[in-house]
Structure 1
């Protein structure tokens, strides 16, 4: 009998979040699950790692029989600890999420969910970050299950190119309203930040970050288009940030002149 795949599950909303509990249930039907996730919400932590303080792991029982560890660190810390300290073999896949809220377009840069997946990719582990376009703690993840299962099984079957992980976003629609899955590129969009400046009772000024999301990209091959039109978006992303297309041009600059 073939060995069941070993699946590492993590997230950035915390180990008790409904999104990760749903993801664990789906993964238990696919393979042997080990959970290593933050002990508290770590949203928008990006690829932060803990270097100036200690890290703590606690084995916990929440639901089901899978091994679970609550970690005091960031999502990236969770993956590092799982690979180096907890697992006795390299996982066949790492799945992160299901995030409460979108990680499409530029949000991938800030996302703790995706940074966990990218950290797994750096370790050479096929990885997927899953997100639902509903920020509420009480979000309904039922319609996500079939898409999560399908995409995970396809990655296990086909693997992924070295250095590539998948960023999967699921629209907040009823199951029958979702038209299917589209492989996309990341839309060119960003946040137009605003800071709400206030003064506390002691007279000290402080700021609340606010703003709005601005999509400048009108292409019909982007994640934002897919999500707005009722599709699950799948974007292959990479942690090699080199702008390869501009290397040749930079080499025409007179960078080696001696100014002394």
Structure 2
């Protein structure tokens, strides 16, 4: 990296016009060459969805001066796939950064997040990848306090690299909190308890609107939830290998003999 500026792929799930991605690409321009590929409309909560039932469109746009930008009709993961296959064409960027998401992606939310899934797809492609999110869902969220940490975290990844199959999930506290520093954390245990608001459309057909509450089930002080609550930037090393390695030994002790006769 000392002899040339790195190439950085910037993606998100809030859409190419979201304020969060503007902040991220502006900071990445200070470090290297930036290529932006982002959805043409908000794709929050898409997880690792890909588009297979309809064609994808990828259009070059001039939204910000000096930035190579493309809007994609697909999901955040589609954006990464198209970038790797059609824009970089056999080469790969030195880094993939996703965000900055309007809203936290800590704890179990990492599974639902389009922001994090884009970063996961980058890691699957062996690209060092980071997902960034802020504790503020507002379109007019204040990202100013995130800027110096973006640079610091990205530079550390570029200098030190990441282990194969590992990416970083970074969450920032709300701008109303003074950031005390960075904490390396584990993912907190939590769950969404959904409710479905039942309604009727003008044709008297039933439909549902999902609501619910996010409940933290983990009081550990080493979690991303605890770090954010105490004013720290949380960094969780995340992997896409979902194997429960600790369960393999136990499962190997089970009998899967399909010919075994069972007593009635």
TM range (shorter): over 0.9
Aligned to 1:154: 156
Partner SS state of residue 106, structure 1: helix
Determine if contact 2:9/2:97 at 8 Å carries over to the other structure: yes
Query: How many pairs does the alignment contain?
Result: 259
Alignment of 1:82 with 2:73, yes or no, is no
Partner SS state of residue 196, structure 1: strand
Indicate the RMSD between aligned Cα atoms, in angstroms. Answer: 1.1
- Structure 1: which 4+ aligned runs deviate by more than 4 Å? none
Aligned to 2:52: 51
Determine if contact 2:131/2:169 at 8 Å carries over to the other structure: yes
Aligned to 1:129: 131
Moved more, 87-96 or 42-51: 87-96
Moved more, 237-246 or 196-205: 196-205
- 1:84-99 to 2 correspondence within 5 Å? 84-88=85-89, 89-99=91-101
Aligned to 1:164: 166
For the residues of structure 2 that align with 1:195 and 1:174, how far apart are their CA atoms? Answer: 32
Partner SS state of residue 46, structure 2: coil
For the residues of structure 2 that align with 1:173 and 1:25, how far apart are their CA atoms? Answer: 19
Q: Which runs of 5 or more structure 2 residues have no equivalent in the other structure?
A: none
C-alpha deviation, 1:257, in angstroms? 4.1
For the residues of structure 1 that align with 2:6 and 2:128, how far apart are their CA atoms? Answer: 12
C-alpha deviation, 1:174, in angstroms? 4.2
For the residues of structure 2 that align with 1:83 and 1:5, how far apart are their CA atoms? Answer: 16
Aligned to 2:237: 236
For the residues of structure 2 that align with 1:202 and 1:70, how far apart are their CA atoms? Answer: 36
Determine if contact 2:143/2:175 at 8 Å carries over to the other structure: no
